[in-house]
Amino acid sequence: MTLQVGGEQVSLPNHAEPIFAARDRGDTATLSCRLGDVTLNCHFFIREEVEFDVDPGDVRDAGDANHLARFMVGLCEATGREVLLTAENNRDGVIAKVEPGDGAVRWQPS
């Protein structure tokens, strides 16, 4: 896991507030998480929502999908909030979701 703020790699803080403070000053911030061959990026757009992006082309097989699913379950357990996998810029286009207390990814029919 790496964090870049203002184009430079920095140590991970204990909480996200220093990252949002840097963004408020005009710096960019990206947290990158590598899951096998899949990279997830968080850009810290708003304080109220954690948003990661993933290149769909990186999810090439069941192993990659399992890495992504485990990440979603872990994020749900850590935050106690619903986790959604959606099409880009389409919050209603849910591909998969994890609900608190469920512990499983529910893939939506296409």
Domain ranges of the chain: 1-56, 61-110
What CA–CA distance (Å, rounded) separates 75 from 68? 11
Report the pLDDT value the prediction gives residue 110, as an integer from 0 to 100.
61
The torsion angle over the Cα atoms of residues 69, 74, 80 and 81, rounded to 10 degrees, is: -30
Q: 3-state SS of the chain: helix, strand, coil percent to 5?
A: 25, 35, 35
Give the global pTM: 0.81
Half-sphere exposure at residue 46, Cβ-oriented, CA atoms within 13 angstroms: 2
**Per-chain mean pLDDT for the chain:** 90
pLDDT tens for each residue of 40-52: 999 888 888 888 8
pLDDT of 98 higher than 90:
yes
pLDDT tens for each residue of 83-97: 988 877 777 888 889
